[in-house]
Amino acid sequence: MRPVYAVSGGVSKFARARPDLDFRGMVKEAYDYALTDLHLTPQHAREIVDGTICSYFSDHFTRQLKAGSMVQDYLGLCPKPGKRIEGGGATGGLAVQSGWEAVASGRFDICVVYGFETMSRVNTWKGNEFIALASDTNFDYPVGGFYSGYYAMMVVRHMKEFGTTVEQMALVSVKNHRNALHNPYAQKRREITIEDVRRAEMVAWPLTMLDICVMSDGAAVLILCSEDGLNTLHRATGRTPLPAKITGVGGGLDAMRMADRPHGEVILLPHERPEDYRGLKYPGVHSFRAGRTAAKAAYQMAGITNPLEELDFIELHDAYTSSEIQTYEDMGLCRYGEGGKFVEGGMPFMPAVDYGVHFPEQGRIPINPSGGLIACGHPVGATGIMQGVFALWQLQGSIRAHFGSDVLQVKNARRGAIHSHAGTGTYVVISILERGD
Amino acid sequence: MSENRVPEDDEGTVLFRVPLPKDPGALKGLAPLIIKHHYEIDYIHSYAQDSPFFAGLANQRLLGTRCGSCNYTYGTPRAHCMECGRPCDWVDLPQEGQIHTFTVCHYGSEEFLKETPYILALIEFPGVDTLFLTRVVGLDPQASSLDWIGMRVKARFRRLSTFRPTDVYFVPIGT
């Protein structure tokens, strides 16, 4: 396999609704930004791009089948090859990995990964219905029909099993909303407190409106290259972009129905021992076996044996505050059951941002410095690609150039991870990116 | 009416007289036109290999499956075993179990909004390896508490089947 580099990206600001641009226009906005950052004109790009990966989740939201080919023609990239990737909430992360495969295999030297979602086209509760169709429509949808309900059941078991509290979950919301104050791409930029989260309207006990990400319209683009692709870019522009190398990819799946998850043994990461988990039935509904499987594979490929020590930041899929806490554990930042204490200690906060709370260990490993899904929004097909773009900018040290402020720049970021998650943990992908210099 | 003209009436018209600047250069400033589409469809859906479960509910029977090879027992049926890939057999599940976890939905997707607040729970059964998603009726949705976990519950069946998994629901034992 050949080394693969992320070289440029763009995000069409996520918003509740973008009636001024359809999915093609939003992708074009993100694409043009990514090209401008490379000092590449669209005409030049037409000549040197080898192919594309298109990412969008729901045909129900889009109500335009084969929308990928419409994006391709709008970007002026016909007749180059491309394909659409779909895997629920993880669609964007899967698309980034498909782009990696296309370049690593030698098929493409320059690959454009683009994604979007247009969720404003129906009301929020109809949107929830569309999303819930990504649960078993024989046994789950007709009973619950509501993803927030599924996640609430999972965290209620986490609370029972490990003593996780609603205040610990609320801290995730405080962190992500507060980080987003410094991210102009974020949809929700708010200074909130634990009390605000708990006083917000209850959606599915114990999750309130502020524990849950919102629906969005938006698009994102990430451009991936081989070493030959970097040379081609250099010839076309006279410049060499500061790339981030993708050094690890991992993925995992689990049974669609939460009810079907086994109650067996924990899958261990290299820094864990079986005696850490005596008596714990795993994954049950409190943990994501697919997330752990993805982490294990990605870490192994990147040579990571202790993620807390060896990663500088993570952009992870916080569709719910609860799932951010569960994901700390799946990714081995702390042991299973310790996710609540992990956030309470301040570990996943930015070191220099004031959250109005005192933490003993603030900023050990910033998680979702961008504000994550909870604050940035979650236009599904764009989300995982957005994470890739923000991770690239962190590793380039270019957050100030793109955000207009370096408050969210993780200092000396050398290695980061992006994590994308679908269903109730049915598809999870994790990719590791490192400074390419 | 001349023959080369589509007959027109105002049926379905939602907007009359759309303003348009004369200058094409000003068209980029035109506000987006937003129209409403209706979309509705009936699917012919076969429960296929899951059919016995729904036929069971109509007869006050709660059916799961058990692997004929490794004996793994499914609280939500599947025709083939996830653990060993062999065919499963249908078995009657116990009609009493415990709440493994739950939530109270104060909102839901559009189809279920009118039913809120409702209680969702995953039920565990003795001797059964996997869980079953259901509604719990008979608890106060405003009084949700972790103490509900472990509560013993029993199955009740709708008298008039709708051939959906909500033909069965669970109630606390002793109510």
Residue A340 within a domain: yes
Query: What's chain A's Rg over C-alpha atoms?
Result: 20
**Nearest by CB to B102, which of A126, A146, A153?**
A153
Give B10 to chain A, closest Cα distance, Å: 26
Alpha-carbon distance of A28 to A36, in angstroms, equals 12
Tell me how crowded residue A213 is: count the other CB atoms within 10 A of its CB: 23
Residue B93 within a domain: yes
Written as tens digits, the pLDDT of chain A (437 aa) is: 999 999 999 999 999 999 999 999 999 999 999 999 999 999 999 999 999 999 999 999 999 999 999 999 999 999 999 999 999 999 999 999 999 999 999 999 999 999 999 999 999 999 999 999 999 999 999 998 899 999 999 999 999 999 999 999 999 999 999 999 999 999 999 999 999 999 999 999 999 999 999 999 999 999 999 999 999 999 999 998 999 999 999 999 999 999 999 999 999 999 999 999 999 999 999 999 999 999 999 999 999 999 999 999 999 999 999 999 999 999 999 999 999 999 999 999 999 999 999 999 999 999 999 999 999 999 999 999 999 999 999 999 999 999 999 999 999 999 999 999 999 999 999 999 999 87
Over B88-103, what HEC string results? EEEEECCCEEEEEEEE
Task: Burial-class residue A111 by CB neighbours within 10 Å (0-12, 13-18, 19+).
Answer: buried
The residues with which A313 forms a beta bridge, in sequence order, are: A416
- Considering only the C-alpha atoms of chain B, give the largest distance between any 2 of them, rounded to a whole number of Å: 78
Residue A15 within a domain: yes
Residue A179 within a domain: no
Alpha-carbon distance of A380 to A118, in angstroms, equals 9
Pick the closest to residue B72 from B62, B60, B83, B63 (CA basis).
Answer: B83
Give the number of domains in chain A: 2
Residue B76 within a domain: yes
Residue B96 within a domain: yes
Distances (CA, A) of A275 to A159, A164, A234, A342: 22, 21, 53, 20
Q: What is the pLDDT of residue A375?
A: 98
Q: Give per-residue pLDDT as tens, A104-142.
A: 999 999 999 999 999 999 999 999 999 999 999 999 999
Over A156-186, what HEC string results? HHHHHHHCCCHHHHHHHHHHHHHHHCCCCCC
A 134-153 residues with CB below 8 A of B?
138-140, 142-146, 148-149, 152-153
Residue B4 within a domain: no
For B45, name the nearest residue in chain A, comparing CA atoms only.
A138
Q: Where are the beta strands (DSSP E) in A63-124?
A: 82-85, 110-118
Query: Are A145 and A41 spatial neighbours (Cβ–Cβ below 8 Å)?
Result: no
For A132, name the nearest residue in chain B, comparing CA atoms only.
B109
**Nearest by CB to B166, which of A143, A202, A263?**
A143
**Nearest by CB to B102, which of A123, A156, A203?**
A156
Q: What is the pLDDT of residue B17?
A: 86
Give A119 to chain B, closest Cα distance, Å: 14
Q: Supply the range of the domain harboring residue A427.
A: 250-435
Statement to judge: residues A269 and A302 lie in one domain:
yes
Statement to judge: residues A264 and A229 lie in one domain:
no
* Interface residue A65 vs chain B (CB under 8 A): no
Give B120 to chain A, closest Cα distance, Å: 7
DSSP state letters, A275-286:
GGGTT--EETTT
Query: Are A1 and A102 spatial neighbours (Cβ–Cβ below 8 Å)?
Result: no
Residue B27 within a domain: no
Statement to judge: residues A49 and A93 lie in one domain:
yes
Q: Where are the beta strands (DSSP E) in B6-112?
A: 63-67, 73-74, 88-92, 96-105
Tell me how crowded residue A25 is: count the other CB atoms within 10 A of its CB: 15
- ipTM of the shown complex: 0.96
For B107, what's the count of Cα atoms within 13 Å in the CB-facing half-sphere? 21
Enclosing H/E stretch for A225: strand A217-225
Alpha-carbon distance of A232 to A229, in angstroms, equals 5
For B36, name the nearest residue in chain A, comparing CA atoms only.
A121
For A164, name the nearest residue in chain B, comparing CA atoms only.
B146
For B78, name the nearest residue in chain A, comparing CA atoms only.
A260
Q: Which residues of A touch B72 (CB under 8 A)?
A: none
A 190-209 residues with CB below 8 A of B?
201-207
Q: Give per-residue pLDDT as tens, B20-47.
A: 999 999 999 899 999 888 889 999 999 9
**Nearest by CB to A160, which of B37, B120, B146?**
B146
Query: Are A113 and A102 spatial neighbours (Cβ–Cβ below 8 Å)?
Result: no
Q: Which residues of A touch B131 (CB under 8 A)?
A: 258-260, 285
Statement to judge: residues A360 and A308 lie in one domain:
yes
Statement to judge: residues A225 and A302 lie in one domain:
no
Residue A261 structure tokens: 């998850």
Statement to judge: residues A226 and A361 lie in one domain:
no
Residue B70 within a domain: yes
Statement to judge: residues A267 and A221 lie in one domain:
no
Query: Are A378 and A320 spatial neighbours (Cβ–Cβ below 8 Å)?
Result: no
End position of a domain, from candidates A237, A268, A290? A237
Q: What is the pLDDT of residue B175?
A: 57
Cβ neighbours for A239, distance < 8 A, ≥ 6 positions apart: A38, A39, A233
Q: Where are the beta strands (DSSP E) in A5-57?
A: 5-15, 51-55
> What number is the average pLDDT over the span B138-146?
97
Alpha-carbon distance of A72 to A24, in angstroms, equals 8
A 90-129 residues with CB below 8 A of B?
123, 125-126, 128-129
Query: Are A421 and A427 spatial neighbours (Cβ–Cβ below 8 Å)?
Result: yes
Q: Which residues of A touch B78 (CB under 8 A)?
A: 260
Query: What's chain B's Rg over C-alpha atoms?
Result: 26
A 247-276 residues with CB below 8 A of B?
255, 257-263
Cβ neighbours for A72, distance < 8 A, ≥ 6 positions apart: A52, A54, A78, A80, A82
Cβ neighbours for A313, distance < 8 A, ≥ 6 positions apart: A365, A366, A367, A369, A391, A394, A410, A413, A416, A417
Total CB pairs under 8 A between chain A and B: 124
Q: Supply the range of the domain harboring residue B104.
A: 48-172
Q: Give per-residue pLDDT as tens, B144-164.
A: 999 999 999 999 999 999 999
Query: Are A317 and A373 spatial neighbours (Cβ–Cβ below 8 Å)?
Result: yes
Statement to judge: residues A256 and A395 lie in one domain:
yes
Cβ neighbours for A168, distance < 8 A, ≥ 6 positions apart: A325, A339, A340, A341, A343, A344
Residue A26 within a domain: yes
Statement to judge: residues A258 and A402 lie in one domain:
yes
Give A128 to chain B, closest Cα distance, Å: 5
Statement to judge: residues A232 and A278 lie in one domain:
no
Q: Give per-residue pLDDT as tens, B82-127.
A: 999 999 999 999 999 999 999 999 999 999 999 999 999 999 999 9
For A20, name the nearest residue in chain B, comparing CA atoms only.
B32
B174 pLDDT tier (thresholds 50, 70, 90): confident
The residues with which B104 forms a beta bridge, in sequence order, are: B119
Give B72 to chain A, closest Cα distance, Å: 10
Query: Are A48 and A232 spatial neighbours (Cβ–Cβ below 8 Å)?
Result: yes
Pick the closest to residue A372 from A350, A341, A355 (CA basis).
Answer: A350
Residue A372 within a domain: yes
DSSP category for residue A39 = T
Statement to judge: residues A335 and A225 lie in one domain:
no
- The alpha helices in chain B, defined as continuous H runs, are 51-57
Percent of chain B with pLDDT over 90: 84
Q: Which residues of A touch B39 (CB under 8 A)?
A: 63
Q: How far is CA A167 from the centre of its chain?
A: 24
Pick the closest to residue A117 from A33, A9, A220, A8 (CA basis).
Answer: A220
Q: What is the pLDDT of residue B19?
A: 86
B1 pLDDT tier (thresholds 50, 70, 90): low
- Considering only the C-alpha atoms of chain A, give the largest distance between any 2 of them, rounded to a whole number of Å: 61
Give B19 to chain A, closest Cα distance, Å: 17
The answer to whether the Cβ–Cβ distance between B133 and A139 falls below 8 Å is yes
Tokens 């729901």 correspond to A58
Residue A132 within a domain: no
Q: Which residues of B touch A285 (CB under 8 A)?
A: 100-101, 122, 131
Residue A259 within a domain: yes
Residue A156 within a domain: no
The CATH number covering residue A384 comes to 3.40.47.10
Q: Which residues of B touch A123 (CB under 8 A)?
A: 110
Residue B83 within a domain: yes
Alpha-carbon distance of A34 to A15, in angstroms, equals 19
Statement to judge: residues A226 and A307 lie in one domain:
no
Q: What is the pLDDT of residue B12?
A: 78
For A21, name the nearest residue in chain B, comparing CA atoms only.
B32
End position of a domain, from candidates A203, A237, A271? A237
Q: Which residues of B touch A156 (CB under 8 A)?
A: 101-103, 146, 149
First-last CA distance in chain B = 73
Helix (H/G/I), strand (E/B), else coil: B133: strand
Residue A391 structure tokens: 């991770």
